[in-house]
A and B are shown apart, each in its own frame.
Chain A
Amino acid sequence: MTRAVRFPGFNVRSQSDHWDDATRAVIVGRVNALPAVRFFTPAEEAAAKCLLDQLVDQRTEPGSPRVDLVRMVDARLAEKQTDGWRYDTMPPDGAAWQQTLAALDEDSQRDHGVGFARCTWEEQHAMLEAFRDADDPNWHGLPRSQVWNLWTRYAATAFYSHPELWNEIGFSGPAYPRGYKNLGIDRLESYEVHDAEPGDDPMAGGTE
């Protein structure tokens, strides 16, 4: 399934000359200068990559954006850049990631005889679906909903910090010092692009 391009020709990065220096440096660093993996072990890295890609439906398809989620999450964990809180029923974030990735591999070994990263896309998807649907509030001794919260929080923050994804959703990105001149319903700046598929209300099943 390829996703329809809703904002044809829209490219946030084409506006980067209008960004301020501090912002440009941060975004260029995010896109081009991610450090190598240093927190995860190779086994953790493999499982984390597949897990993160699954959560945001990132498949390797020609032409579709590739966001190196595992390096982004790894960098945060290595630098202890947490959200400033953790549930008292969960270990600190770094340990929580390590523990849950190991548990995911354990489940996968049990069900498929290989680690999570060696499963097919469909098998991985089914495992996560089953994880979501299970009634047992605990999973390998941890609160299931808080594990899900940890995974999705890190995945979403990394994914939607990437300009490729801003193109996909029509978000115009950094807006300083230029700001916006055309506020209001259906009004665009000269460089913004209208949604080519406005009827694609996901709730109405438009993209199914």
Chain B
Amino acid sequence: MSDVRDRNESAWLLTKDGSRMQHGLREDMRRFDDTDEVDAVIIGAGAGGGTMTQRLARLGWKIVTFDAGPFWVPEADWVSDEAGSHNLYWTEPRQIGGGDPVPLGSNNSGRGVGGSMVHYAGYTPRFHPSDFRTMTLDGVGADWPIAYPDLKPYYELIEGELPVSGEHWPWGDPHDYPYRPQPVGGNGELFLRGALAAGIEAHVGPVAISNGRFGNRPHCIYRGFCLQGCKVNAKASPLITHIPDALAHGAEIRPDSMVTRIGIDELTGRATGVHYIRDGLERFQRARTVIVAGYSIETPRLLLNSTSARFPNGLANDFDQVGRYLMVQGAPQTAGRFEAEVRMFKAPPPEVSSEQFYETDPHKPYKRGFSIQTVSPLPITWAEHVMAQGRWGGEFRDYMSDYVHWACLGALCEFLPQPDNRVTLADEKDRHGMPVAHFSYTRCDNDRQLMSAATEVMERILKAAGADEVMTINRNAHLVGGARMAADEQHGVVDRDCRSFAVPNLMITDGSVLPTQGSANPALTIMAVAARAADRLIDRPID
């Protein structure tokens, strides 16, 4: 653990009780002027941007990291309540369409320092080696310009920094976690029991909640509100895993500042800084390098809105790649009813997972696969599950009163990247006059087959555990892609080191660069990709 502290001191920079940053760290934060040409601006302090901020600050770069949302103080700003957590989500206007429109907001988009990881569940699996070569292996999806061994050392580093707890992981590239698995609640217990009875392998983890204290961060108290922001600071998010160390190394975090356009020098074609709005005023911060990390909807939106004579269709969009190949994971959710009381709201929702069905099975008609995990919806989310079944009125309310008897599993199906699943700019404008994002999504046949296969397995597990009834709804989870990395500029927006093909000093280091998604939750991989991109700046500086 001491080696973690040497390279990232964040957990030791909180007060002894772990409740907040040490005195002065935030108040005395270094502050730059708009006219200072800083080494880099980073747009978004989430998984990718937060990691990048810490890495570059450690390299001695002068950094300003913008976030459109607040610089959270968990004890004061977050609540142990579902409806009261609404302000954690990105709720600016957005439009959805296509054959299978994907709801946004609470489901997948955060806002504020820490990004979507503030209210992510906390699963942190690695991608499998096959994920980086799906086109070669299976004739679907895309090959990445990097391979698993390129990311492996960064997976190990980040797993130490979050840190991750779980059992020995037998799937993909088998590995161990720095912390032992967490105890499980009723939902995890039933998943393990059902999987065993059905002959399916399942394990506890991997979750970014340490088992025990970590630095000054306290132990989890099993309160089950991980998706509402962890007030305890037991669950990892960049707000506590990377930002404190970045501040200690001289980075500035500029919250409540929405970046609306990236500036371009029409002569040299280089990025010059960012236009942003703070307190109602439009401003411009100069920078030598611009690093975008606003996630799969806002990153394409910002690039598309950054037009110039050189880039009339949006920045780095010469080949109409920006916004395309955006993916969600199909996330059917199957619940099972037990005579006993499960009380799935007790314990963190992320507990147990299985990756047994992750890889392509040559005996099946579809390619690629899915994973299965515990999800433990709180009452409002559970009500959505029950209503999505078409129930309403008295029947709906009777179902709800049965809440303590239900266990709930969720699958993550590897939906394939498709060019027309994309972000464009709508005619509608937000209150700053910036066009809002339109996100179009349509599933392909392989996607649909995966969803029914995953549902079948989840029903099998729950019945094997003793459920007398099961019910499934179809939903989506996570976002990746939208500005993917590729071998060349005709197939993507950035190269293997997250540098844009079109603008030498423009980088993208967030979920939008992922060319495929596997059936793993994406945050760990996003952080690993960002950490690698930061390291590459040492060996291959921007000229």
Contacts and interface: CB of A to CB of B under 8 A. Distances in A.
A88 B95 CA distance: 5
Contacts of B471: 203
A183 B184 contact: yes
A152 B392 contact: yes
B95 A132 contact: no
Given A84-B104, A160-B379, A57 B397 contact: yes
Interface string A6-36: 1000000000000110110011001000000
A170 interface: yes
A106 B134 CA distance: 54
A201 B400 contact: no
B96 A174 contact: no
Nearest to A153: B384
Interface residues of A, number: 69
Contact of A204 (B86, B379, B401, B469): B469
A172 B396 contact: no
A199 B225 CA distance: 28
Interface in B88-132: 89-97, 101, 103-106, 109
Contact of A198 (B78, B224, B225, B341): B341
A69 B79 CA distance: 21
A22 B400 contact: no
Given A180-B347, A201-B402, A20 B341 contact: no
A85 B105 contact: yes
Interface in B22-80: 75-80
B337 A203 contact: yes
Contact of B97 (A87, A165, A178, A199): A87
B91 A83 contact: yes
Interface string B317-346: 000000000000000000001111111011
B94 to A, nearest CB: 5
Contacts of A6: 401
A62 interface: no
Contact of A125 (B231, B393, B402): B393
Contacts of A180: 185, 221-224, 346-347
B137 interface: no
A14 to B, nearest CB: 16
B397 A87 contact: no
B342 A157 contact: no
B507 to A, nearest CB: 27
A201 B405 contact: yes
A39 interface: no
7 contacts: A20-B231, A85-B105, A161-B83, A168-B401, A170-B404, A198-B339, A203-B468
Interface of A: 1, 3, 6, 19-20, 22-23, 26-27, 30, 54-57, 81-89, 92, 125, 128, 132, 152-153, 156-161, 165-166, 168-188, 192, 194-195, 198-204, 207
Given A84-B106, A168-B401, A176-B223, 8 more contacts: A55-B393, A84-B89, A88-B426, A161-B84, A174-B81, A180-B224, A195-B341, A198-B341
